[in-house]
Amino acid sequence: MKDFKKSVVYQIYPKSFYDTNGDGFGDLKGVTSKLDYIKELGVDYIWMTPFFVSPQKDNGYDVENYYEIDPRYGTMEDFEELAKEAKKRGIDLMLDMVFNHTSDQHEWFQKALSGDEKYKNYYIFKKGKPDGSAPTNWESKFGGSAWQYVPEFDEYYLHLFDVSQPDLNWENEEVRKEVQKVIRFWMKKGVKGFRFDVINLISKGEFEDDDQGDGRRFYTDGPNIHKYLRELNEQTFGQEEGIITVGEMSSTSMENCFQYAGEDSHELSMVFNFHHLKVDFMGNEKWVLVPADFGKLKQILFDWQKGMADNHAWNAVFWCNHDQPRVVSRFGDEGMYWKQSAKMLATIIHCFRGTPYVYQGEELGMTNAGFTDISQYQDVESINHFRILQEKGLTQSDAYRILQIHSRDNSRTPMQWEKKEHGGFTTGTPWIEVNRNYERINAKEELEDKDSIFHYYQQLIRMRKEYDVIAYGDFEELDRNHPKVIAYKRTYGTEQLQVIANFYGVDVEWKSSQSFNGFEVLIGNYDETTIEDDKKISLRPYEAVVLYKKE
């Protein structure tokens, strides 16, 4: 049985991974055909974003049927073949479950719209205010009101995301039992992991106007959330040893995560939080142009590392996913120090306490899309905000600059396999354009280059399995106030690890309060590390070094 603390998860966005039939969409057979590549990287689990039947208004996060494979991705036989072949290679599958909402095309919602009271109660319908306006002033995370009027009922339904994604009513026990049935179905198919989309939004609080914001304080980490997760655990995945779970926690608090992912809380194995990926936002507003706040980034990373450890809870650690820009474009350097900065960013995450997640192409140093026309964008959130930003008075060129930095499509461009047309992703026309730098950045080139970003990730993944201090060690921050360096220490029994990373493209000097005597260089992103004396180290642009000692 795998130990999730020594494991690494590889995230696949199937639509953009590999297309085997030339229709421009990645498919399940495409994942199967690349299993040897994934095995070579060394990961333990593949998390795949939803491939269930869906109208694709939100790239599959609007599920129409939880039990069937969307034909554009293949068949149930294709899934079963993928599971079998992955297992042969020692890789388990983790499925992405969207249970805060369904598609408006789901049978349950269609029955609700027909007036069936049983299914209306599967969702959240409310009367408007006396003047006929929406029940509350809550805003959808994709822009506009979170309520949609249904004239036939003279009621509104809640959709925290797109209008085509009505929220489920988890207060209804029948809804909870339906969700449990879905989990058990996929467990029988041999699935060993589940990632739960925005799961901390399922318990809504009071339905009232928010005079302080957009409504999120009324539906985030709601009053019954821990009860619902414990129940889900007890009725499904908690009954089978060896299944790992991760919750995507939107705008959560650390205190709640102590329970979500506590050793003895019987809820989830681990949690994603996103606070560290809002350091280039203005408050909670991401559609702005502001520089990343390095001091805040360091504080958040360190506080979560220490807080979760002190409370015996477990983090999922990551920079990238299908909803985030490419990290080398965001915090690194696409130019002269592309390779060094990508490796530096990987070093920080993979030596943390927590289970690392690698998003497809991250191990190659894939960059943001660089799109220059709105017609190139496919993401509903990006297209909505391109309009909203201009309605707020921004110029079109400023709106484009913001999309180029923050759009979710930055991470959704096709996987770059080789120098062939469309990066070897498809023989057809890809559903979204391939990044133009595929001739320089692709898997074939990196597999052949022993100094590649791919091989560096491979080393980091191997280290987690070999060194207990990485998987189980305590966490101690070093030099929180240094303006350019992230440094921390891990300790486990007689093992000690020091991680020192220059976050910037300039030379810096870093002084340790502890002697380097007795330490060896475990890994670094330059050929040689310059340790000037027993407490001082010179770091080149984006240099990272991991020092190890065993007493």
Which positions are catalytic?
Answer: 197, 248
Distance of CA 331 to the CA centre of its chain: 16
Judged by DSSP in three states, 19 sits in coil
The candidate with the shortest Cα–Cα distance to 446, out of 435, 436, 458, 434, is 458
**CA 103 to CA 61: how far, in whole Å?**
8
CB 488 within 8 A of CB 478: yes
Q: What is the dihedral of CA 87, 54, 268, 41, to 10 degrees?
A: 40
Beta strand pairing call for 65-69 and 495-502: unpaired
Q: Which residues contact 98 (CB under 8 A, 6 or more apart)?
A: 50, 61, 62, 63, 197
Judged by DSSP in three states, 357 sits in strand
Cα angle: 303, vertex 305, 306; to 5 degrees: 65
**CA 18 to CA 11: how far, in whole Å?**
13
The candidate with the shortest Cα–Cα distance to 63, out of 25, 101, 112, 27, is 101
3-state secondary structure 392-445: CCCCHHHHHHHHHHHCHHHHCCCCCCCCCHHHHCCCCCCCCCCCHHHHCCCHHH
**CA 433 to CA 272: how far, in whole Å?**
29
CB 542 within 8 A of CB 333: yes
Torsions phi, psi for 146 (to 5 deg): -90, 10
**CA 287 to CA 278: how far, in whole Å?**
11
Q: Whose structure tokens read 């966005």?
A: 13
Cα angle: 368, vertex 400, 140; to 5 degrees: 90
